[in-house]
Structure 1
Amino acid sequence: MKNLWFITNPGSGSSTVEKCEALMAIFADHSLTVVGRTIFPEDQLPNRAMLETADVDAVVLFAGDGTINAAICALDDWDGAILILPGGTMNLLAKALHGDADPAAIIRAMHEHHERIALSFVAAADHRAFVGLILGPAASWVHARELVRAGRLRGLGRAIRHAWARTFGRGIRIGGAPGLPSGAQAVLVTPDGDSLQLAAIDARDWRSIAQLGWDWLTGDWVAATSVTEVRATSVHVLNDKPVLALFDGEPQQLPPGIPITGAQTAARFISTLSSE
């Protein structure tokens, strides 16, 4: 492996401009050549033709979940390797592939040992979620969360009031998942091989709603309230109108009745964890 294409998003959790430049120096120290670079969303993501023309061996993603998702989907028809570095807030994919190692340690470890593995994902219509899909009225907190992350207080109060009102409204109903409570405020769907793990949050009183909203703003919302977990192979939304759905944090409108299933990618993601 020699030629890299480096995709970053300086607006993500921890992939600052300074850290991106430090990684460029580490690549050079390990005789890795960056033949192309994308600063997303300023630049358009590369496609298969661009990578093949540049003779790219691996694409390096140093960004948050949303950018990583967009890049993986854009390169679905390219068969090269993909290296995911922890550049977001929670970095769940990077942890699954490399443990708690930092970007510099991951690059060093890649020279000593690595393998290409497949990743599981949640699929619904044309959308994919590699970390998780969030359904339900509590997904409305995403707008307030993004304002907090960006440090933009203007409009935050209005976003919180809107999310609060939506969370107290009609909940989400999911078909195909026996045991999941009807009318939950949020359902987190995560991939597990070719099946799905579902966690439903059912918050009914104002104190639970406030706690749910706070945990949305600060990150770890699933751990805060009563959670019911079930497994399924295929589920769908029973509500009679499209619902807000967050695919790795990116909002989409998901029509009712669309099958939500689990699937796996090809073995193209670099893992530095020992298989022993």
Structure 2
Amino acid sequence: MGGKIRTIELIANTASGSVGPAAPDEARAILAEFGDRANVCVPENGDVTGCLQAAIDRGPDLLVILAGDGTARAAAELCGVKGPLIAPLPGGTMNMLPKAIYGTTDWKAALRDTLEHGEERVIGGGEVEGRMFLVAAILGSAALLAPAREAVREGRPLVAFHRARRAWRRAFSGRLRYSLDGGPRGKAEAMSFMCPIASRALDDDAQCLEAAALDPAGVAEALRLGLHSVMGNWRDDPSVEAIACRRARVWASSGVPAVLDGEPARLSASVQVVWKNEVARVLAPPRKADTKARETLAETTARAGS
């Protein structure tokens, strides 16, 4: 780890998905191995936001997040590119950003590897209604399928089907309208915007979003699409059309349900989705040789339309 990292603040939310009560002491032990001036903060009474802000106010060189996706996104928003480096470790349920940065390793291995070999990396992200997303945003009916996707992950297909059917019945009336980079208007049940850090179709250093129009015809296709998203091959689904974009306008007849980096949100009836080149600085081990499928977006679009 570079010599400029002298002080570290670590947020350990023991109430989060994969963070147990022993995590704070385990983190202290790992940090002590490297002799850094470190402070481990455990939120009291569930006040993660207060704990996070207090840690940033102390001006550390590195802010380590051992919590859920929402806390990782909040840390990136608060620190920006001028604040402390961040290391969002896998401490939640979905761990979308940690997986994109550190892979599928556990948080202890990721922390050690980062402290030993970490390099500064500037990452971009998307913004919608003043809210950042660093991995992916889903707008529209598909955002209501999150409980169904969790059941799929847990190996409960029947529960997943019933949850998907309920979500479909709750779906807001009317389809989304959208325009990408000022182009022609389109219609879809939902829109997905994926950042380069998680996209198989975009280079990690691409300065744009991978936008996809999701258009399942009913609950069966919606559940299939949800399963594909869990398996990581949703672009291969015939109801998906994908294209690169930097700015999008999305509107509907009423407020739009959304999922931003795994966290549910409710957006206005008309929103702008914008790509930001630089939103935060992360500390992570050097990127390994790129093993992502290097499909062009044109090939993906052609296959989706076939």
TM-score band, normalised by shorter chain:
0.7 to 0.9
Find 2:250's aligned residue among 234, 237, 241.
Answer: 237
Indicate how the Cα distance of structure 1 residues 102 and 251 shifts in structure 2: closer, same or farther if over 3 A, else same.
closer
1:255 aligns with 2:268: yes
TM-score (norm 1): 0.78
Cα-to-partner distance string for 1:220-245 (whole Å, 9 max, x where unaligned): 58368322111112111132322112
User: Does residue 165 of structure 1 match 2:169?
Assistant: yes
Q: May I ask how many residue pairs the two structures share in their alignment?
A: 270
Tell me if structure 1 keeps the 8 A contact 2:9–2:41: yes
- Per the alignment, residue 129 of structure 2 pairs with 125
Q: Which moved more, 1:60-69 or 1:187-196?
A: 187-196
- 1:94 equivalent in structure 2: 98
- Counterpart mapping for 1:1-276 below 5 A: 1-39=5-43, 42-46=46-50, 50-51=54-55, 54-76=58-80, 79-142=83-146, 160-167=164-171, 170-176=174-180, 182-183=187-188, 185-192=189-196, 193-212=206-225, 222=234, 225-226=237-238, 227-265=240-278, 268-273=281-286
Residues 1:199 and 1:20: Cα distance change in structure 2 (over 3 Å): farther
SS of residue matched to 2:175:
coil
**The 10-residue stretch of structure 1 (40-49 or 195-204) with the greater mean CA deviation from structure 2:** 40-49
Segment of structure 1 superposing worse, 228-237 or 20-29:
20-29
The runs of 5 or more residues in structure 1 that have no matched partner are: 151-155
Distance 1:230 1:38 in 2: 42
Q: Name the SS of the counterpart of 2:210 in structure 1.
A: strand
RMSD: 3.7
Distance 2:107 2:268 in 1: 38
Shift of 1:199: 2.0
> Which AA in structure 2 matches 1:201?
L
Partners in 2 of 1:72 and 1:4 — Cα distance?
A: 16
Identity among equivalent pairs (%)? 26
Residue aligned with 1:189, SS:
strand
Asked if the contact 2:77/2:280 (under 8 Å) is kept, the reply is no
C-alpha separation in 2, matches of 1:33 and 1:158: 51
Three-state SS of the structure 2 residue aligned to 1:138 is helix
Q: One-letter code of the match for 2:245?
A: A
